[in-house]
Amino acid sequence: MKHTVYLGLGSNVGDRIEFLATAIRGIADFPLTVVDDVSDVYSTEPVGEVQQGDFLNVCVSVRTDAEYREFHSMIKELERVIGRTESVRWGPREIDVDLLFFDHVVIHTEELTIPHKEIVNRRFVLQPLADIAPMYIHPQSGKTISELLAAANDAHGIERSGHFTSQLLMLINDSITNPTV
């Protein structure tokens, strides 16, 4: 597998753990793709002005032979198949899969920005990413994920959930090569 990819996944509608597990299993089923690691699950307060329930968030490390455009298209199709419905910006989501990093490339097109533009401001992404890739260096800032997490001033609540992590791992254990827990 020639590309290393980091993804952020979140859900705050319906059976959140099942949506996350379905997404991770779906990613593992992508052609020439391996899910290497999954972070702990975090319960996080939503960002934005929309009243909604808390999210469950995880990060996933993946290796793939797909190029970034193809991989992004597969993610968007997976979200659609799982049942993601469009809502207002930063609104409730059955599943949200964000392409955080693709190798160390920097890409800015109309449909895609890599690295994800909000990552440095979001503890709900940085904390689970630090579980699986604390020394990964952000290609634009030159800082590690651990350094970005330490400097983050995001005041939204985030809490590691051993209960949800155990549930998720039971649902995806056969889909990953190196579970964190």
Catalytic residues: 84, 93, 96, 98
Which residue type is seen at 14? G
* Under 8 Å between Cβ of 159 and 42: yes
The phi and psi torsions of 162 (rounded to 5 degrees) equal -60, -35
* Under 8 Å between Cβ of 49 and 160: no
Tokens of 110: 């109309």
Cβ within 8 Å of residue 44, ≥6 positions away: 10, 54, 55, 56, 57, 123, 124, 156, 157, 158, 159
Q: What is d(CA 86, CA 70) in angstroms, rounded to the nearest whole number?
A: 21
- Please give the DSSP secondary-structure letter assigned to residue 144: B
Query: Which residues face 62 on adjacent strands?
Result: 5, 35
